[in-house]
């Protein structure tokens, strides 16, 4: 019997003890109860995983762990009906989500465990270019687990491209430039924990780039703004490991316009410019 996912956030959880360490799968407690006898459902909400237990079951301990890494993430003693685990840490670009993520629960009958892996997929929507060459866009999470945005790159035939996250030169472990985006509108971050970078399942969040891919850092010419169709790529690097990329086209037209506050890092005195109008195929 499979465990069904349900929409819920109910019941106050018990005291929490945060643990980080190793577990030996060969010496793990024997599982005596089926998961459907102990668990009633789970869901991802923002940075949290909420797990609910069957009403008639008394759970003495709940543990979040990674089976392949043999690492225990969190242990909660005496949960009361449901339990809440933190699985995403946006301030340090870390997500615990993987196909080997499990929760196990201890009852009077022994231990029971269940996989809590769910797919994540960020889809780019509504790419609009601002007057200063930055980009405003939406990310829809069509998956059923929360998405943490690690980095968003825009590259290809754009005036000021980022690194290509799908190239062999891109190393996510040593990449230190940060996400490159910030939430805007209702998704504007209100604190330094960067919760704006977390997109819950089936939700859409609005972002803008901190860099200006459509700025000509050494000035634009009339030919640059002649309305020629160009191709570009946009990639979302998920903190959990996946990279989703999307192609789009754009045309830049109008007169070159000076971007206030931006100068070329290479030309020194040269003022950065952008075309008056930039339209994309995903506007």
**What residue segments make up the domains of the chain, in order of their start?**
16-115, 122-280
DSSP result, 116-152: ------EEEEEEEE-TTS-EEEEEEE-SSS-EEEEEE
- Angle, alpha carbons 15-20-22 (nearest 5°): 125
Task: Kindly give the residue spans of alpha helices, DSSP state H, lying in the chain.
Answer: 35-38
Q: 170 burial class (0-12, 13-18, 19+ CB within 10 angstroms)?
A: middle
Which SS3 state, helix, strand or coil, does residue 90 take?
helix
Q: Which of 157, 160, 203, 153 is nearest to 181 (CA)?
A: 153
What pLDDT was estimated at residue 33?
63
What pLDDT was estimated at residue 32?
57
What pLDDT was estimated at residue 51?
98
Question: Distance between CA 181 and CA 237 in Å, rounded?
Answer: 12
What pLDDT was estimated at residue 212?
97
CATH of domain 16-115: 2.60.40.730
What pLDDT was estimated at residue 71?
95
Q: Tens place of pLDDT for every residue, the chain, 283 residues?
A: 333 333 432 333 333 333 334 434 433 444 556 789 999 999 999 999 999 999 999 999 999 999 999 999 999 999 999 999 999 999 999 999 999 999 999 999 999 999 999 999 999 999 999 999 999 999 999 999 999 999 999 999 999 999 999 998 888 777 777 899 999 998 988 788 999 999 999 999 999 999 999 999 999 999 999 999 999 999 999 999 899 999 999 999 999 999 986 544 444 456 899 999 999 999 8
Q: Are 234 and 253 in contact (CB under 8 A)?
A: no
Structure-token match 């339990």, residue found:
83
What pLDDT was estimated at residue 271?
84
Question: Distance between CA 125 and CA 105 in Å, rounded?
Answer: 40
What pLDDT was estimated at residue 219?
93
The conformation of residue 225, written as its DSSP 8-state character, comes to G
Q: Are 257 and 276 in contact (CB under 8 A)?
A: yes
């Amino acid at each position: 019997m499979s465990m069904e996912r349900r929409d819920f956030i109910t019941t106050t959880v018990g005291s929490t003890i945060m643990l980080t360490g190793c577990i030996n799968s060969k010496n793990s407690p024997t599982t005596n109860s089926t998961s459907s006898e102990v668990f009633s459902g789970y869901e991802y909400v923002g940075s949290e995983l909420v797990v609910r237990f069957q009403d008639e079951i008394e759970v003495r301990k709940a543990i979040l762990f990674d089976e392949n890494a043999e690492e225990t993430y969190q242990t909660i003693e005496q949960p009361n009906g449901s339990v809440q685990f933190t699985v995403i840490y946006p301030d340090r670009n870390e997500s615990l989500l993987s196909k080997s993520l499990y929760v196990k629960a201890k009852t009077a009958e022994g231990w029971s465990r269940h996989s809590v892996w769910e797919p994540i997929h960020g889809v780019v929507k509504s790419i609009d270019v601002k007057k200063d060459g930055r980009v405003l866009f939406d990310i829809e999470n069509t998956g059923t687990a929360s998405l943490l945005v690690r980095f968003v790159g825009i590259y290809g035939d754009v005036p000021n491209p980022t690194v290509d996250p799908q190239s062999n030169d891109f190393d996510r472990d040593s990449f230190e430039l940060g996400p490159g985006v910030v939430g805007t509108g209702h998704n504007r971050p209100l604190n330094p924990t960067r919760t704006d970078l977390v997109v819950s399942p089936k939700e859409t969040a609005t972002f803008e780039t901190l860099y200006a891919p459509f700025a000509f850092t050494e000035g634009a010419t009339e030919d640059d703004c002649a309305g020629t169709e160009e191709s570009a790529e946009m990639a979302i690097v998920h903190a959990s490991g996946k990279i989703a990329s999307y192609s789009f086209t754009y045309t830049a037209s109008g007169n070159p316009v000076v971007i206030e506050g931006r100068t070329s890092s290479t030309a020194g005195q040269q003022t950065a410019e952008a075309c008056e109008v930039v339209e994309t195929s995903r506007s």
